[in-house]
Amino acid sequence: MPLLDGRMFPQMLIAFAVIALLGLVLRWTFGRDRRANPPWPPTDSATLTDTSGHTGNARPDPDDFGLLAPVAVVDTAEEAQRVQSMLAEAGIKATSSVGTGGRHRVLVFEAELNRARRLGGWSA
Protein backbone atom coordinates (compact mmCIF):
# COMPACT_ATOMS: atom_id res chain seq x y z
CA MET A 1 0.00 0.00 0.00
CA PRO A 2 1.62 3.33 -1.06
CA LEU A 3 0.00 5.25 1.81
CA LEU A 4 1.84 3.27 4.49
CA ASP A 5 5.14 2.67 2.67
CA GLY A 6 7.12 4.76 5.14
CA ARG A 7 7.48 8.03 3.26
CA MET A 8 3.95 9.12 2.38
CA PHE A 9 2.35 8.79 5.83
CA PRO A 10 4.67 11.19 7.73
CA GLN A 11 4.41 13.77 4.93
CA MET A 12 0.61 13.65 5.00
CA LEU A 13 0.62 13.88 8.79
CA ILE A 14 2.83 16.97 8.67
CA ALA A 15 0.61 18.56 5.99
CA PHE A 16 -2.55 18.03 8.07
CA ALA A 17 -0.81 19.37 11.19
CA VAL A 18 0.25 22.53 9.31
CA ILE A 19 -3.31 23.05 8.00
CA ALA A 20 -4.76 22.58 11.50
CA LEU A 21 -2.21 25.00 12.97
CA LEU A 22 -3.01 27.56 10.27
CA GLY A 23 -6.73 27.21 11.05
CA LEU A 24 -6.13 27.80 14.76
CA VAL A 25 -3.95 30.86 14.09
CA LEU A 26 -6.55 32.34 11.73
CA ARG A 27 -9.37 31.67 14.19
CA TRP A 28 -7.41 33.33 16.98
CA THR A 29 -6.51 36.31 14.76
CA PHE A 30 -9.88 36.94 13.14
CA GLY A 31 -12.19 35.42 15.75
CA ARG A 32 -14.79 37.71 17.26
CA ASP A 33 -15.09 38.08 20.99
CA ARG A 34 -18.79 38.77 21.53
CA ARG A 35 -18.15 40.44 24.89
CA ALA A 36 -15.73 42.99 23.37
CA ASN A 37 -17.99 43.83 20.39
CA PRO A 38 -21.58 44.41 21.52
CA PRO A 39 -24.34 44.35 18.91
CA TRP A 40 -25.16 47.68 17.26
CA PRO A 41 -27.17 49.68 18.08
CA PRO A 42 -26.98 49.16 21.83
CA THR A 43 -30.35 48.30 23.34
CA ASP A 44 -29.71 49.98 26.68
CA SER A 45 -28.97 53.62 27.38
CA ALA A 46 -25.26 53.15 26.69
CA THR A 47 -23.09 56.03 25.72
CA LEU A 48 -20.35 56.07 23.13
CA THR A 49 -17.05 57.90 23.03
CA ASP A 50 -15.98 59.35 19.69
CA THR A 51 -12.41 59.97 18.57
CA SER A 52 -12.36 63.44 20.13
CA GLY A 53 -13.13 61.96 23.56
CA HIS A 54 -16.69 63.33 23.62
CA THR A 55 -19.15 60.99 25.24
CA GLY A 56 -22.64 61.20 23.81
CA ASN A 57 -25.87 59.34 23.33
CA ALA A 58 -25.65 56.12 21.34
CA ARG A 59 -28.58 57.16 19.15
CA PRO A 60 -27.83 59.57 16.28
CA ASP A 61 -29.27 63.08 16.37
CA PRO A 62 -32.09 63.31 13.78
CA ASP A 63 -31.26 66.99 13.16
CA ASP A 64 -27.57 66.37 12.41
CA PHE A 65 -27.00 66.30 8.65
CA GLY A 66 -23.20 66.24 8.70
CA LEU A 67 -21.88 68.61 6.03
CA LEU A 68 -25.39 69.66 5.01
CA ALA A 69 -27.54 72.36 6.56
CA PRO A 70 -31.28 73.01 6.14
CA VAL A 71 -32.02 76.05 3.99
CA ALA A 72 -35.82 75.73 3.82
CA VAL A 73 -38.60 73.71 5.46
CA VAL A 74 -41.71 73.09 3.36
CA ASP A 75 -44.89 71.06 3.72
CA THR A 76 -44.85 68.82 0.62
CA ALA A 77 -42.38 66.93 -1.52
CA GLU A 78 -43.49 68.97 -4.56
CA GLU A 79 -42.55 72.22 -2.83
CA ALA A 80 -39.20 70.74 -1.84
CA GLN A 81 -38.63 69.71 -5.46
CA ARG A 82 -39.44 73.25 -6.66
CA VAL A 83 -36.95 74.73 -4.17
CA GLN A 84 -34.31 72.21 -5.27
CA SER A 85 -34.91 73.12 -8.92
CA MET A 86 -34.60 76.84 -8.15
CA LEU A 87 -31.32 76.23 -6.32
CA ALA A 88 -30.04 73.97 -9.11
CA GLU A 89 -30.66 76.74 -11.67
CA ALA A 90 -28.37 78.95 -9.56
CA GLY A 91 -25.70 76.21 -9.47
CA ILE A 92 -26.33 75.14 -5.87
CA LYS A 93 -26.57 71.42 -5.20
CA ALA A 94 -29.47 70.54 -2.90
CA THR A 95 -31.29 67.52 -1.56
CA SER A 96 -34.29 67.00 0.69
CA SER A 97 -35.13 65.03 3.80
CA VAL A 98 -38.40 64.29 5.54
CA GLY A 99 -38.39 65.37 9.19
CA THR A 100 -40.07 63.66 12.11
CA GLY A 101 -43.08 65.99 11.79
CA GLY A 102 -43.59 65.05 8.14
CA ARG A 103 -42.26 68.37 6.85
CA HIS A 104 -39.62 68.38 4.13
CA ARG A 105 -36.24 70.01 4.66
CA VAL A 106 -34.20 71.21 1.72
CA LEU A 107 -30.51 70.74 2.51
CA VAL A 108 -27.42 72.36 0.98
CA PHE A 109 -23.73 72.31 1.82
CA GLU A 110 -22.86 74.75 4.59
CA ALA A 111 -20.51 76.65 2.27
CA GLU A 112 -23.53 77.47 0.03
CA LEU A 113 -25.98 78.14 2.87
CA ASN A 114 -25.87 81.96 2.91
CA ARG A 115 -26.02 82.18 -0.88
CA ALA A 116 -29.00 79.80 -0.98
CA ARG A 117 -30.83 81.76 1.72
CA ARG A 118 -30.29 85.05 -0.13
CA LEU A 119 -31.52 83.48 -3.36
CA GLY A 120 -34.73 82.18 -1.80
CA GLY A 121 -35.26 85.02 0.65
CA TRP A 122 -35.17 82.66 3.64
CA SER A 123 -33.83 83.77 7.00
CA ALA A 124 -31.63 81.82 9.40
pLDDT value, residue 11: 85
pLDDT value, residue 2: 58
pLDDT value, residue 3: 56
d(C-alpha 32, C-alpha 39), whole Å:
12
68-120 maps to which CATH number?
Answer: 3.30.70.1530
pLDDT value, residue 53: 52
Q: Taking a C-beta distance cutoff of 8 angstroms, is the pair 48, 55 a contact? A: yes
For residue range 52-78, what is the model confidence (pLDDT) as tens digits?
Answer: 555 555 566 767 788 898 898 899 999
pLDDT value, residue 39: 57
3-state DSSP percent of the chain in helix, strand and coil, to 5: 40, 20, 40
User: Which residues in the chain show pLDDT less than 50?
Assistant: 1, 45-46
Task: Please classify residue 103 by burial: count the beta carbons closer than 10 Å to its beta carbon, then call 0-12 exposed, 13-18 middle and 19+ buried.
Answer: middle
pLDDT value, residue 66: 84
pLDDT value, residue 34: 58
d(C-alpha 20, C-alpha 86), whole Å:
65
